[in-house]
Amino acid sequence: MSAKYVFVTGGVVSSLGKGLAAASIGCLLESRGLRVNMMKFDPYLNVDPGTMSPFQHGEVFVTDDGAETDLDLGHYERFTHAPLSRDNNLTTGRIYEQIILKERRGDYLGKTVQVIPHVTNEIKNAMRKVSSNGADVTIVEIGGTVGDIESLPFLEAIRQMRQELGRESTVFVHLTLVPWIAAAQELKTKPTQHSVKELLSIGIQADILLCRTDRSLPLEMKKKIAAFCNVEERAVVAAKDVPSIYEVPVCFAQEGVDSLILKYLHKEAPEADLTLWKDLVHRSYHPKDKVSIAIVGKYVEYEDSYKSLKEALTHGATSQNLKLNVTWIEAEGLESKFPEDRSYEAQLEGFDGILVPGGFGKRGIEGMLNAIRYTREKQVPYFGICLGMQTACIEFARNVCGLKDANSSEFDPASQHRIIYKLRELLGVEEMGGTMRLGAWTCILQEDSLAAKAYGGATEISERHRHRYEFNREYEALLTGAGLRISGTTPDATYVEIVELPGHPYFLGCQFHPEFKSKPLEPHPLFREFVIASYKNRMSRVSEQVDSVTTVG
């Protein structure tokens, strides 16, 4: 049986939600018993997003095999169980890199290397490779917007795929915009018409139109779009704005998107079972209470920098039937000029829990240290991830162990006490090329630790990493002697993975990024337990306030 593909493209403007649309389609097909795989092509010339600023591109998502990928792969993993790796995200840069290497080796036997057929063949081969793992349907998202010069080779490649495989094996889903013009008080279909025409000009006829809109599409408008864009009336889908992204699969199911795709692909499948998704949506809209979390980070001006983090917190909160209230705090705003200046504490009061996420560089570090000191001294639940674990160790060394000069060699190479450092520095190994610890690493947990309890008593776990600096075990005896607990390490005991503070309501730092493995229906245990501890803190404060009022009365 030939491979089946769903190609997702976007028009009119960027940021319409192609990634969420593709992920939701994957979710629906998976709920009907099909095995899906997901793929994203990005048209920029960077080899991968690993060296791009979070302000430019948002979060860098990491797969088990250590690939630094587009954040849309995070949506794919949260909505489906597709086995993603570096093969599932390719950029123009990586494709051209592969082609140039082949040309230098002489693989093309002296031929002129061109966009057609060489670049398009490389793109098609990448799609075939991903679909060869036994997937019933492979969903391929083309980044960028139709009409962009850099997207043309990818669009030409998927056009050729239909020519080669036939209509019964390919479906084109086009995401477009139906804006509401306030001055005219009406929805406008012209942008959608032009976008479909642009797609048609390069030889692709859309099969299904996902029309992004902030309100319902009247039936007459759907008929108009269908007539002008040469699609079935029921293939004009209102992709309406919804409060929760996890409602999108449910909305698509109501519009019959999955049934339409299966019809076009000539594929039979059982009816979708969305019971768990509907229950998830119900809980997100009808919480029993709320929990308030402050995220003290370096890139808070652009929330997509912490996309998986925010979603993992949401998963933890929804699992407890709680509404998540997140406050983003710029770490630099918590810095103080003098050690005795504690005025920053006013910005941290009233939160149920505080989280310090990952990041690179020294900007905002002193503010993070102040936030961590506050959580440790005030007994506020704390969760540190990657840089958040490293700064927790530095804060403990400074303010509990008395090492005022304690630091990371990333921030101060001349520091006398390098609590955090590059392991290779100590070994005297000269740095060459990429030095990050990336992808899945095994971690051994200490029994009866906070981490082991969160993981249900497990003693061995696997989590994903993306960092360059490590805890310096030369300081282990000093810090553990003062009360810090190292509860997770790599099997060979070389790297420290988790630290805790016994006796604290919840104080845990992990070197890995647990947010990358959290799913809405399968919340990550560390996020779940952090939310539970934060909510307990909230209820304790509410109880104290009630007691205070009662006493005064």
How many Cα atoms occupy the beta-carbon half-sphere of 40 within 13 Å?
30
Confidence at residue 55, expressed as pLDDT on a 0 to 100 scale: 67
Identify the DSSP state of 238. Answer: E
Distances (CA, A) of 358 to 306, 366, 417, 511: 9, 15, 22, 9
Least confident of 159-168, 359-368, 479-488: 359-368
Label residue 91 by pLDDT band (50, 70, 90).
Answer: very high
Terminal CA-CA length for the chain? 77
Token digits of residue 50? 């690993």
Confidence at residue 426, expressed as pLDDT on a 0 to 100 scale: 47
Which amino acid, one-letter code, is at 295?
Answer: I
Least confident of 219-228, 256-265, 295-304, 515-524: 295-304
Strands (E) located in 63-111: 68-69, 89-91
Confidence at residue 432, expressed as pLDDT on a 0 to 100 scale: 35
Least confident of 40-49, 202-211, 423-432: 423-432
Average pLDDT of the segment spanning 349-378: 93
Catalytic residues: 386, 513, 515
Q: Quick check: do 4-279 and 287-540 share a fold?
A: yes
* CB distance 56 to 62 below 8 Å: no
Average pLDDT of the segment spanning 357-365: 88
What residues have CB less than 8 Å from 109, skipping those under 6 apart?
none
| H or E element, residue 7 | strand 4-10
Average pLDDT of the segment spanning 24-28: 97
Write the DSSP assignment of 424-487 as a string of letters: HHHHTPPP-S---EEEEEEEEEPTTSHHHHHTTT-SEEEEEEEES-EE-GGGHHHHHHTT-EEE
Q: How far apart are CA 155 and CA 265, in angstroms?
A: 20
pLDDT at 435 over 90: no
- 387-399 vs 365-378: helix crossing angle, rounded to 10: 70
User: Taking Cα atoms as reference points, which of 531, 545, 542, 546 lies closest to residue 291?
Assistant: 531
| Domain positions in the chain | 4-279, 287-540
Q: Could you confirm whether domain 287-540 is CATH 3.60.20.10?
A: no
Label residue 2 by pLDDT band (50, 70, 90).
Answer: confident
* CB distance 480 to 419 below 8 Å: no
pLDDT at 3 over 50: yes
Token digits of residue 364? 């905002």
User: Taking Cα atoms as reference points, which of 346, 360, 397, 355 lies closest to residue 515?
Assistant: 355
* CB distance 317 to 531 below 8 Å: yes
pLDDT at 302 over 80: no
Q: For the purposes of burial, counting CB atoms within 10 Å of the CB of 327, is it exposed (0-12), middle (13-18) or buried (19 or more)?
A: middle
What mean pLDDT value characterizes the chain? 92
| H or E element, residue 397 | helix 387-399
pLDDT at 108 over 50: yes
The tens digit of pLDDT for each residue in 378-414 reads 999 999 999 999 999 999 999 999 999 999 999 999 8
What residues have CB less than 8 Å from 333, skipping those under 6 apart?
344, 347, 367
Confidence at residue 424, expressed as pLDDT on a 0 to 100 scale: 60
Q: How far apart are CA 72 and CA 235, in angstroms?
A: 24
Average pLDDT of the segment spanning 159-177: 96
Confidence at residue 549, expressed as pLDDT on a 0 to 100 scale: 57
* CB distance 322 to 531 below 8 Å: yes
Q: State pTM to two decimals.
A: 0.92
Average pLDDT of the segment spanning 303-327: 94
Confidence at residue 196, expressed as pLDDT on a 0 to 100 scale: 96
CATH architecture of 4-279: 3-Layer(aba) Sandwich (3.40)
Q: How far apart are CA 433 and CA 453, in angstroms?
A: 38
Question: What percent of the chain is predicted at pLDDT more than 90?
Answer: 83
Confidence at residue 204, expressed as pLDDT on a 0 to 100 scale: 97
Confidence at residue 338, expressed as pLDDT on a 0 to 100 scale: 80
φ/ψ (deg, to 5) at 325: -110, 115
Average pLDDT of the segment spanning 524-539: 97
Q: Find tokens 């560089």 and name the residue.
A: 361
pLDDT at 454 over 90: yes
What residues have CB less than 8 Å from 428, skipping those under 6 apart?
none
Alpha helices in 166-298 (DSSP H): 190-201, 219-229, 248-254, 257-264, 275-285
> Before 117, cis peptide (omega within 30)?
yes
The tens digit of pLDDT for each residue in 147-158 reads 999 999 999 999
Within a 10 A sphere around the Cβ of 492, how many other Cβ atoms?
Answer: 8
Label residue 551 by pLDDT band (50, 70, 90).
Answer: low
pLDDT at 1 over 70: no
